[in-house]
Structure 1
Amino acid sequence: MASTISLSQASLAAGIATSTLATFVALSPPHKNPTRAPPTGDFLRHVNATGGAFRALVFVPIGLLSLQTLILVIGAPLRLIAYASLGKNFTFELSKPDGLMTSGVYRWVQHPSYTGMAALVVGNAVLLARTDGVLASWVPRAWAGVFDGVVKSLAPLALGVFGWGLWTRVKQEEKMLRGEFGKKWEEWHKRTARFIPWIF
């Protein structure tokens, strides 16, 4: 008995494979730290929420499958552009850079890698944590309604924890950059959006 694969099944499989590859590449450290960074009060390092530990976290969806396209359209490329722009200065641990990057993507956005990471997290959650998608393979049909309610109830909490962690890291980086580059950083900070050009 031959089995047939529908177009929707094939597109879901292709989306998951592409999402997995793009997320792996975009959340893998582009460079090893040349030396162990001195203690800097780096909160995310202390709670082990960087590098491999971060990739193990699973966040729940906010419910719109169309957001999954952010993975390919915004998330992975934006993160990879940040890797390329900063070169060896892009590390997962908080460390002082050789200089202040204010050109390229950093001309418009101060933290493009975090914008890209947020797009990846939301996009993957929407794609992978839907009870009518991948989770349907693991959740018995009778539990789908209950599980869907739990997922939707926990989504704001999960996104809040992610947002708080991201904001904490951004403030620590900005404090370090202000201390390192002073007035040059302050001028760049005033004219450049943190995450989304001309908006935020």
Structure 2
Amino acid sequence: MMSLVTAGKVLWVMLVTSWYLLRRPFDRRARRAKLTVDRRPGADTVRLAISFTGFGIIPVVYVLTGQPRFASYEANPVLLTLGIFSGIAALVLFRLTHKALGKMWSVSLQLKQDHKLITTGIYKRVRHPMYTAFWLMALTQALLLPNYIAGLAGLAGFGFLFFSRIGPEEAMMEEAFGEEYHLYRARTWRVLPYVY
């Protein structure tokens, strides 16, 4: 019988693989689009690297080696179950955001040629639902991987990316879309309705 630790690792790998497969066609399409604004070089590249370390490198090392062992704790079936639910919610939300953005999607602070502001569907009440999906995925990692370092690395890595990027991203959107974005911002929440 599979241990809870192994089950958590397997589920984490399945969710991350699904996450990657959902994003892949959008990433391929985005690479072909002409950009009018590209703020990826420099600070955003550093932010993405730090986030990837927390979401990818540290948990992969843990899944493959069990290291760092000193930071491990006993797996809990309740946490595992909550991790499954938060992971599914993250994937659903992730898919909805990509579908709504279509060719406007980008992994970084970029605007496409003829970029349009998306304010419908999943974007009607929340300006950054993709970040909401990432927060859920970071929570999923913490729930599925019973290791204080590997489990929490996603929250730390993505937290750094989010809090250092959200201001510049919203400034870029306001610069590009002016009053349209200002009005949109006034009637929506950043990542969680009625909270933030």
One-letter amino acid of the counterpart of residue 86, structure 1: L
Give the structure with the higher percent helix: 2
Instruction: Name 1:177's counterpart in structure 2.
Output: 173
Normalised to the residue count of structure 1, the TM-score between the two structures is 0.68
Alignment CA distance shift 1:8-1:173 (3 Å): closer
1:26 shift after superposition = 4.5
In structure 2, how many angstroms separate the alpha carbons of the residues matched to 1:29 and 1:102? 22
Choose the corresponding residue for 2:11, options 15, 19, 29.
15
Instruction: Name 1:40's counterpart in structure 2.
Output: 39
In structure 2, how many angstroms separate the alpha carbons of the residues matched to 1:36 and 1:51? 23
Instruction: Name 2:109's counterpart in structure 1.
Output: 94
* Percent identity of equivalent pairs: 20
In structure 2, how many angstroms separate the alpha carbons of the residues matched to 1:54 and 1:29? 24
One-letter amino acid of the counterpart of residue 198, structure 1: Y
Residue 96 of structure 1 aligns to a residue in which SS?
strand
In structure 2, how many angstroms separate the alpha carbons of the residues matched to 1:92 and 1:9? 32
Contact 1:109–1:192 at 8 Å: present in 2 too? yes
Residue 102 of structure 1 aligns to a residue in which SS?
coil
Choose the corresponding residue for 2:87, options 48, 64, 71.
71
Residue 194 of structure 2 aligns to a residue in which SS?
coil
In structure 2, how many angstroms separate the alpha carbons of the residues matched to 1:48 and 1:102? 25
One-letter amino acid of the counterpart of residue 130, structure 2: S
1:119 shift after superposition = 0.8
Choose the corresponding residue for 2:185, options 169, 189, 200.
189
Give ranges in structure 1 of 5+ residues lacking alignment.
131-147
Instruction: Name 2:20's counterpart in structure 1.
Output: 24
Alignment CA distance shift 1:162-1:21 (3 Å): closer
Contact 1:110–1:192 at 8 Å: present in 2 too? yes
1:30 shift after superposition = 1.5
- Map Cα deviations across residues 161-198 of structure 1 (whole Å, 9 max, x no partner): 43131122222211110001111111110110110122
- What is the RMSD computed on CA atoms of the aligned residues? 3.8
1:93 shift after superposition = 2.2
1:87 shift after superposition = 0.6
Larger radius of gyration: 1
Alignment size in residue pairs = 174
In structure 2, how many angstroms separate the alpha carbons of the residues matched to 1:96 and 1:16? 32
Contact 2:50–2:160 at 8 Å: present in 1 too? no
Contact 1:29–1:91 at 8 Å: present in 2 too? no
Map 1:27-176 to 2 at 5 A.
28=24, 30-31=26-27, 32-33=30-31, 34-35=33-34, 39-40=38-39, 43-49=43-49, 56-58=56-58, 64-68=79-83, 69-72=85-88, 74-97=89-112, 98-127=115-144, 129-130=145-146, 151=148, 155=152, 159-176=155-172
Contact 1:178–1:186 at 8 Å: present in 2 too? yes
